[in-house]
Structure formats: structure tokens, C-alpha cells
């Protein structure tokens, strides 16, 4: 019966980098588990603990002994191991030497020489130091530190090491620390050593010393308490996951406290205040029921103070200069109209071959007006928003808070009395900011967002800087996806070919325009393929629509959805096959088929198909004009029977050339009906 004990390793350090703490702990756990598996040491479960000054792994019911194992190595074939006289060959002697044994100790009973060795299992206590050492060496640490006079390197200087297997210390030295059972408590509340009596008591022993070792427990505690305090202030807290992780990694004993700042700062765009409080101070900001910033914030102290008012006052004192800076930048920017910043942008390069940022704004302005006309927006407002679209990049506010690009522009345009949709468009131009992110709400914003993306695509492609593999410095793939999402999800009608032609024309001789529009259109529509695959739409459906070259992404999508629905119909397979057959027949035709001559339709099956095709043409023409592709394909499904009967009973390639040509003409009309939606021959 194998014996098992709990195992604990805790490495104590100086404060670890908060953004990396969670990753380091998870990697430490993965490294220990990998080592245990490689050593064949069975265990029930394992988990990691992480706090600012410690990384720990606890393994439940770890086998205290490796199982014995047999190792075998195959050598040369027996035939090659001995010569005709039965003397061992060099191959046999070499194999014995490699195994470190006499030739007589090798197994010669099989087709090959074989060395079989029984390896007794080692004690876990002998293997654990090496496993832990290797797991720590493999941690993802970009830059390791050295400290004192030693040569040891780690992410931060090490302070202590606990290694227990059951109640016994595992004797070893790792990263300059001698293993023992002494941990340390909270830096201020319990700086003395803490004896860890057993691995199972680790969490409770540290809790007595004011340390919550479990990252997830601290995170939950902060999250719950912050929400309670926010509710007491009649607000709700902004708690980004990354900030919650970082704050959890900064404290061993979290105590959230409410602090406040002067109300006059609320005149500054709240995004700037939130940005500085979150990024620089690691505070949680509070919003009222209308989403407006409250003059309050929550800090998470690492101390359970007898006089929390002192901690609150300290944090309020620290945040004031930050908010004063934001207020100063905002007031500087308000001293002149937003439009004046374009003068500064005339000297800022957008791309060396494509002119300045101001040149880009002029192009975006003109293209946005053209697009607004197409999508039912206001061309004058779109042109105005395009002209102002880059102005906030030259503002003091965006210089200090780059993440406010677009948002600062919105506030300044509002201050200047610009129409609301123009102000909103200055922020909406950057939408969607990522996969699944929100889209522009206004038509003016949609027009500027589309114009900005199409202008970048046309310019960067036009100078030959195509994205390759993982390199896409101008985020052209994201731009193309953004264009598609805005047009399809907002159901906006835009002839992409014409819009791209307009974008390319604006660059004049700065770009190589030959074939550029088709190349851009292909690049944009190629992005749809992956989008549809994610939605579970078959590639063949996408290709059947791509084959008929729609110019509007919305139209493209409507066709794809219709073909996807058509595929579920019982007639779909037969009609796809028939279309494939027709396409092959027509491909062999010597000349373009003409009109169908009724007098040459001799057989009943071809007469039936001709009248069915004529009836279908009359039915689907108005449907196709209104882009009712679903209804069109559902209607065309009724052609299955006359089509099947035609191919069963009629010889298309008749001896009489006139009859043959007439049958080709009939099939061309049939094929044309389907091509009005998609090339469904590709579904077969």
C-alpha cells in the first residue's frame, strides 16, 4: 500500500509585480504538476496560492514513494550480434557497453538483444527539491533580478522557503533559501515568523497572521466589499477585471475605504478622471444611476487601521495633483476652437508617402460626405465631423491621456456648439474598437468610421504595404472587419466598389491605383469567410455568393443567409447538382445561348420546363428587386421536378444543331434564375 502525505511549498519574496502575480502562481502550479507527472508521483489534487510576498503550491495526498519501474532497451538484431562462429560482433559489444553491463547479462531470447533493468522508486522527499527548483526556473519572468553579493536570480529577492511533506520539512536549498517551516505574516500587522504546522493548516495559520493567501478569496472579498460601499454612496463602482486582479495582487489583507475629491473636478471630462484614478492610483471610481461620475472613489488599503480617516486623507491628498493636471489640460484645450488643431496636424505625418494627418482628415471629410449620401445620413454633418475627426490628437488632453482620443474630441466639439451627431462622430469614428465591440450609434458616426477605415485601407494597400502573416501594423484586417460589421449589423446599404474607387481617387498619384479597388474589395470580402465560419455557415455557401460578386456587404450577407436557409430544403441537393450539370454543359457551348424559340420545344418535358421557368421568372423578378432572396430561393425550389424530368427524358446535345442550341438557351435561363441570388452549383 502506497503512503501519501500533503505537500506544501511556499517561496517568500519581496513584493512581486502585481500585474504578473496571478500568471506566476498559475505557472508555478503547472510546473510542479508537470514535474510530479514526469516523476510518476501520484496525487489527488493541487492548487496555488499567491499574495504580494509569496507564491505557494499545495498538493493533496502526494505519494511519498515513486513506484518501482522496469526499463528496457532494444539493441541490434541477434543475427547481427554474433558472427558465423558465434562470436559477438562490434554491434553487440557496443550495445552492452552503452548499457553498462556484460554481454552475458543481456536478454538474447528474442529477435533482438534486449537490456531489461529494474529501477527501484525513489522517495518523494528526494525528488521534490529538483521538481520545485525546475518549476521556479521555468516561470515566465522577462527580467530576473540579482541581489546582495550572491549570483541567485529571480523576479524579486527571495526571503524564506517553506517545504513540508506531511509534518516533515523537506531539507534543501532553493534560490538561496534553506527550507524550513517558518513563513512570515503581514508586513505590518504580524511581521514575526509564522510556523506552518502542516500543509493543510497553511491557509489558516497565515490568516491568524493577517494574510489571506488565496488570491481568489481576496479578489472576491474586495469585489463584494467595493460593491457594498458603492451602494452606501448611492452609486455603483467601475470594476474592470484587470484592475481588480492588480489590486488583489497588491494587498495581503484588503480593507476597502471610501474617499472623496472636490466637486469642481467634475467639470473635466469624466473619462480623464477615471483614467488617471484607475491607471495611476488603482482606485475604483463610482458612478451615479445616470452613469455620471460621483466625487467619490474607493481605495483598497493593505492595513486594518485603528484610524482609517488618516488613510483616507492620505489618498485624497495624493489624488488631488493628478486631477488638477487633468483639469489644467482640459482648460488649456478650451482656450481655442477644436478646428484650430488642424494647423498643428498639418505638420504631423500620417504615413511618409501618404501625407499629414490633416491631409487624412480632408480625405475622410470628403469620403464621409459621399458615404453619408449613400446610407441616408447628413452629408454636410459627415463632412464637418470628418474635418474635425483628428483634431483632438493635437490636444493637451490626448497628449497626456492617449486613450481619450475621440472622447476628448466629443467634449470639445460639444463645447464649441457643434451639432450633437458631429460631436458623437468624433468618438464613433474609432468604432468598433475591437472584436464584438460597440458600433457607431449615429449615421454621421457610421459614415466617418467607414470613411476613416476605407481611406486607411486604400492608402496603405496603395503603397504596397500589405499585411503579412502576423504583421499588420496599420490594423488593416481590423479595419476591414469594422467596415463589414457596421454595414451588415446596422443594415446600411453601400456599394463598396464605388466607395473604394472614391477613396483611391482621392490619393491621386500617391498610390498605384491599377487593380487596387478589386484587390481591396477581395481583401474586405475575404474577412467575411472567417466570420461566417464562426457562425457555423458552410464555406460553400459563402463561395456561392462570392461567385456572383455583390458589391454591397449588406446584400452579400442577405444572400448568404438565404442560401444557408435554402440548403435545409429537401430540394436543395438535387437543384445544386442540376445547377452544376447545367454549368458544365454551358461551359462547353460554342457560342452564347440566344433566346428560347417556343416552336422548337418538341418534347413534353422540355415544354414543361420552359413554362415552369417562364412562370418562375415572372414570380421572382419582383422578389429579387426587393432583395427577398429567401422567398426567391424557396420559390425556385419548386423547379426541382420539371428539372429532374427534363434531364431524365431529354437529350440536351441533340443531333439537330437548332434544337441543341434551343435547349442550351433554356438551360441558360434556368441557371440565370439561380445566379440572381448565388451560384448554387458550388453547393454540390
**CA distances, 501 to each of 130, 237, 276, 483, 613 (Å):** 65, 48, 43, 15, 38
Of the three residues 313, 333, 353, the one that is the final residue of a domain is: 333
**Would 550 be classed as within a structural domain?**
no
Of the three residues 176, 208, 240, the one that is the final residue of a domain is: 208
Q: Which residues fall within 8 angstroms of residue 138, CB to CB, at 6 or more apart?
A: 27, 31
Q: Read off the CATH number of the domain in which 433 is found.
A: 1.10.3210
Q: Read off the CATH number of the domain in which 13 is found.
A: 3.30.70.260
The parent domain of residue 447 ranges over: 339-536
Q: 140-154, 202-216, 648-662: which has the highest mean pLDDT?
A: 202-216
The answer to whether the CB of 254 falls within 8 A of the CB of 221 is yes
- What pLDDT was estimated at residue 470? 82
Regarding whether 570 and 478 lie in a shared domain, the answer is no
What pLDDT digit, counting tens, does each position of 619-643 carry?
Answer: 988 898 899 999 999 989 889 999 9
In angstroms, the CA 27 to CA 155 distance is 13
Regarding whether 60 and 154 lie in a shared domain, the answer is yes
* Neighbour count for residue 273 (Cβ, 10 Å): 24
Using alpha carbons, select from 486, 477, 396 the residue that is nearest to residue 439.
486
- What pLDDT was estimated at residue 1? 47
Regarding whether 356 and 221 lie in a shared domain, the answer is no
**CA distances, 277 to each of 19, 270, 273 (Å):** 17, 11, 6
For residue 115, pLDDT beyond 90: no
In angstroms, the CA 218 to CA 54 distance is 14
In angstroms, the CA 393 to CA 388 distance is 10
> DSSP per residue over 443-498, as a string?
HHHHHHHHHHHHHHHHHHHHTT---BTTB-TT-HHHHHHHHHHHHHHTT----HHH
* Neighbour count for residue 278 (Cβ, 10 Å): 19
**CA distances, 141 to each of 20, 24, 27, 269 (Å):** 9, 8, 10, 38
Using alpha carbons, select from 331, 352, 333 the residue that is nearest to residue 341.
333
Q: Which residues fall within 8 angstroms of residue 283, CB to CB, at 6 or more apart?
A: 259, 277, 297, 298, 299, 315, 319
- What pLDDT was estimated at residue 121? 87
Q: Which residues fall within 8 angstroms of residue 219, CB to CB, at 6 or more apart?
A: 244, 245, 248
How far is C-alpha 625 from the geometric centre of its chain's CA atoms? Answer: 39
**CA distances, 304 to each of 73, 253, 309 (Å):** 63, 8, 12
CA atoms within 13 A on the CB side of 612: 20
Could you give phi then psi for residue 171, rounded to 5 degrees?
A: -70, 125
**Would 255 be classed as within a structural domain?**
yes
Handedness of CA 124, 128, 130, 131 (dihedral sign): positive
Using alpha carbons, select from 248, 208, 210, 242 the residue that is nearest to residue 226.
248
Number of domains forming the structure of the chain: 5
Pairing of strands 158-165, 177-180: parallel
**Would 314 be classed as within a structural domain?**
yes
**CA distances, 462 to each of 54, 362, 510, 512 (Å):** 54, 18, 8, 5
Q: What is the mean pLDDT of residues 261-288?
A: 96
Regarding whether 111 and 12 lie in a shared domain, the answer is no
Handedness of CA 138, 140, 146, 147 (dihedral sign): negative
**Would 411 be classed as within a structural domain?**
yes
Regarding whether 361 and 305 lie in a shared domain, the answer is no
DSSP 386: H
Regarding whether 343 and 289 lie in a shared domain, the answer is no
In angstroms, the CA 411 to CA 398 distance is 12
**Would 61 be classed as within a structural domain?**
yes
In angstroms, the CA 337 to CA 395 distance is 11
Regarding whether 510 and 525 lie in a shared domain, the answer is yes
**Would 544 be classed as within a structural domain?**
no
In angstroms, the CA 64 to CA 243 distance is 41
Regarding whether 585 and 529 lie in a shared domain, the answer is no
Pairing of strands 145-146, 236-237: unpaired
**CA distances, 347 to each of 356, 396, 402, 415 (Å):** 6, 16, 19, 25
In angstroms, the CA 614 to CA 636 distance is 12
In angstroms, the CA 623 to CA 610 distance is 20
Question: What's the mean pLDDT when you consider all of the chain?
Answer: 93
For residue 494, pLDDT beyond 50: yes
Q: Read off the CATH number of the domain in which 663 is found.
A: 1.10.730.10
In angstroms, the CA 363 to CA 486 distance is 20
For residue 2, pLDDT beyond 70: no
Q: Enter the C-alpha cell of residue 409.
A: 474630441
Euclidean distance between the first and final Cα of the chain, in Å? 63
Regarding whether 634 and 563 lie in a shared domain, the answer is yes
Regarding whether 370 and 315 lie in a shared domain, the answer is no
Query: What predicted TM-score, i.e. pTM, was given to this entire model?
Result: 0.82
Regarding whether 520 and 572 lie in a shared domain, the answer is no
Regarding whether 529 and 591 lie in a shared domain, the answer is no
**Would 429 be classed as within a structural domain?**
yes
Output Rg (C-alpha) for the chain, integer angstroms. Answer: 37
**Would 31 be classed as within a structural domain?**
yes
Place of cell 488603482: 282
Q: What is the mean pLDDT of residues 563-581?
A: 91
In angstroms, the CA 355 to CA 297 distance is 44
In angstroms, the CA 517 to CA 498 distance is 9
For residue 393, pLDDT beyond 60: yes
What pLDDT digit, counting tens, does each position of 594-616 carry?
Answer: 888 888 888 888 999 999 999 99
Of the three residues 157, 186, 208, the one that is the final residue of a domain is: 208
3-state DSSP assignment of residue 322: helix
Q: What is the mean pLDDT of residues 63-76?
A: 87
In angstroms, the CA 73 to CA 138 distance is 31
For residue 159, pLDDT beyond 70: yes
Amino acid at each position: 500500500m502506497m503512503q501519501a502525505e500533503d505537500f506544501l511549498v511556499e517561496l517568500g519574496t519581496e513584493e512581486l509585480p502585481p500585474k504578473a502575480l496571478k500568471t506566476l502562481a498559475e505557472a508555478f502550479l503547472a510546473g510542479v504538476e508537470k514535474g510530479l507527472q514526469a516523476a510518476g508521483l501520484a496525487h489527488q489534487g493541487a492548487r496555488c496560492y499567491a499574495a504580494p510576498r509569496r507564491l505557494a503550491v499545495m498538493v493533496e495526498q502526494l505519494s511519498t514513494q515513486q513506484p518501482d519501474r522496469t526499463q528496457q532497451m532494444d539493441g541490434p538484431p541477434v543475427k547481427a550480434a554474433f558472427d558465423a562462429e558465434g562470436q559477438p560482433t562490434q554491434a553487440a559489444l557496443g550495445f552492452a557497453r552503452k548499457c553498462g553491463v556484460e554481454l552475458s547479462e543481456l536478454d538474447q531470447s528474442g529477435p533482438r538483444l534486449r537490456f531489461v533493468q529494474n529501477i527501484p522508486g525513489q522517495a518523494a522527499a528526494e525528488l521534490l527539491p529538483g521538481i520545485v527548483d525546475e518549476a521556479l526556473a521555468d516561470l515566465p519572468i522577462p527580467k530576473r533580478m540579482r541581489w546582495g553579493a550572491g549570483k541567485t536570480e529571480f523576479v524579486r529577492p527571495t526571503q524564506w522557503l517553506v517545504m513540508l511533506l506531511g509534518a516533515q520539512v523537506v531539507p534543501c536549498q532553493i534560490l538561496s533559501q534553506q527550507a524550513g517551516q517558518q513563513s512570515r505574516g503581514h508586513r505590518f500587522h504580524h511581521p514575526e515568523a509564522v510556523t506552518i504546522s502542516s500543509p493543510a493548516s497553511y491557509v489558516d495559520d497565515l490568516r491568524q497572521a493577517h494574510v489571506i493567501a488565496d488570491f481568489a478569496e481576496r479578489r472576491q472579498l474586495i469585489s463584494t466589499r467595493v460593491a457594498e460601499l458603492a451602494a452606501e454612496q448611492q452609486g455603483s463602482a467601475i470594476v474592470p477585471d484587470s484592475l481588480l486582479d492588480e489590486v488583489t495582487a497588491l494587498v495581503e489583507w484588503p480593507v476597502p475605504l471610501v474617499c472623496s475629491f472636490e466637486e469642481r473636478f467634475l467639470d473635466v471630462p469624466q473619462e480623464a478622471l477615471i483614467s488617471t484614478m484607475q491607471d495611476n492610483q488603482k482606485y475604483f471610481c463610482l458612478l451615479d444611476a445616470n452613469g455620471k461620475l460621483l466625487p467619490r472613489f474607493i481605495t483598497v488599503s493593505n492595513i486594518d487601521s485603528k484610524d482609517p480617516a488618516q488613510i483616507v486623507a492620505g489618498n485624497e491628498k495624493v489624488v488631488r495633483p493628478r486631477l488638477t493636471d487633468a483639469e489644467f489640460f482640459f482648460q488649456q484645450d478650451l482656450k481655442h476652437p477644436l478646428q484650430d488643431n488642424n494647423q498643428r496636424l498639418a505638420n504631423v505625418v500620417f504615413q511618409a508617402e501618404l501625407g499629414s494627418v490633416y491631409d487624412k482628415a480632408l480625405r475622410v471629410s470628403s469620403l464621409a460626405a459621399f458615404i453619408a449620401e449613400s446610407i441616408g445620413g447628413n452629408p454636410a454633418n459627415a463632412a464637418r465631423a470628418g474635418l474635425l475627426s483628428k483634431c483632438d490628437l493635437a490636444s493637451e488632453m490626448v497628449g497626456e491621456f492617449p486613450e481619450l482620443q475621440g472622447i476628448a474630441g466629443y467634449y470639445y466639439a460639444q463645447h464649441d456648439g457643434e451639432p450633437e451627431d458631429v460631436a458623437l462622430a468624433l468618438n464613433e469614428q474609432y468604432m468598433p474598437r475591437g472584436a464584438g465591440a460597440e458600433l457607431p450609434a449615429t449615421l454621421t458616426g457610421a459614415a466617418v468610421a467607414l470613411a476613416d477605415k476605407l481611406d486607411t485601407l486604400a492608402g496603405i494597400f496603395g503603397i504596397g504595404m500589405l499585411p503579412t502573416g502576423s504583421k499588420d501594423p496599420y490594423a488593416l484586417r481590423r479595419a476591414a472587419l469594422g467596415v463589414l460589421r457596421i454595414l451588415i449589423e446596422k443594415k446600411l446599404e453601400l456599394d463598396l466598389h464605388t466607395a473604394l474607387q472614391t477613396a483611391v481617387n482621392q490619393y491621386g498619384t500617391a498610390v498605384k491605383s491599377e487593380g487596387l479597388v478589386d484587390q481591396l474589395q477581395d481583401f474586405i470580402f475575404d474577412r467575411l469567410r472567417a466570420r461566417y465560419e464562426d457562425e457555423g455557415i458552410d464555406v460553400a455557401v459563402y463561395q456561392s455568393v462570392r461567385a456572383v460578386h455583390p458589391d454591397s456587404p449588406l446584400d452579400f450577407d442577405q444572400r448568404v443567409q438565404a442560401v444557408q436557409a435554402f440548403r435545409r430544403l429537401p430540394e436543395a441537393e438535387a437543384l445544386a447538382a442540376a445547377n452544376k450539370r447545367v454549368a458544365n454543359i454551358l461551359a462547353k457551348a460554342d457560342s452564347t445561348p440566344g433566346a428560347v424559340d417556343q416552336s422548337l420545344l418538341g418534347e413534353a418535358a422540355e415544354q414543361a420546363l420552359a413554362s415552369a421557368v417562364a412562370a418562375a421568372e415572372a414570380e421572382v423578378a419582383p422578389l429579387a428587386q426587393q432583395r427577398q432572396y429567401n422567398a426567391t430561393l424557396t420559390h425556385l425550389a419548386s423547379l426541382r421536378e420539371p428539372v429532374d424530368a427534363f434531364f431524365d427524358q431529354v437529350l440536351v446535345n441533340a443531333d439537330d444543331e437548332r434544337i441543341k442550341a434551343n435547349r442550351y438557351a433554356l438551360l441558360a435561363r434556368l441557371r440565370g434564375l439561380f445566379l440572381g441570388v448565388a451560384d448554387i452549383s458550388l453547393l454540390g
